Amino acid sequence: MDINTVIALLDQAHIHNEAVTEWFDTPGLQWALCPFTEAGVLRFFTRPKTGDMSMGEVTAMLDRMKQEPGYHYQPVTSDWQTLTKPFFKRLQGHNQVTDAHLLGLAIHERLVLVTFDKAILYMAGEHAKHVHILKTK
């Protein structure tokens, strides 16, 4: 799951909460978080303007999420350049760094990156099978 997908799942007031919750409730769903996603969620929810929560509160929220069925911890075992090599030629700027890292991890580990961001399909190119775009309501 990318960072925005996790944020939408954890924030019931988020515009995409219903869509991600519907997907997350899929029977038999296998899903994963990596340290990069966890850090992004912590960063978002502890910022005064977006969440204003304590580190302890957000960590507890993530811990509760990890108790949900199908959870898997996905370590990052390769560097950014190795992970992004399959699509590096399609990277266009600094706004894609996080998405590229998560997409590269999904490709490298033969997983699927779940996101709302349709632009990742261009980045993925021939690796688009490693991307699942959630439909918004």
Q: Which of 1, 63, 62, 61 is nearest to 30 (CA)?
A: 1
DSSP state of 8: H
pLDDT at 137: 73
Q: Which residue matches tokens 């925005």?
A: 4
Are 41 and 8 contacting, i.e. CB atoms less than 8 angstroms apart?
Answer: no
H or E element at residue 38:
helix 35-46
Q: What is the pLDDT of residues 18-68, one digit of tens each?
A: 999 999 999 999 999 999 999 999 999 999 988 899 999 999 999 999 999
Summarize pLDDT for 87-133 with one digit per residue, the tens: 999 998 898 999 999 999 999 999 999 999 999 999 999 999 999 99
Per-domain residue ranges for the chain? 3-133
> Whose structure tokens read 């099978």?
129
Architecture of the domain whose range is 3-133? 3-Layer(aba) Sandwich (3.40)
> What is the per-residue pLDDT for 85?
96
pTM for the full predicted model: 0.93
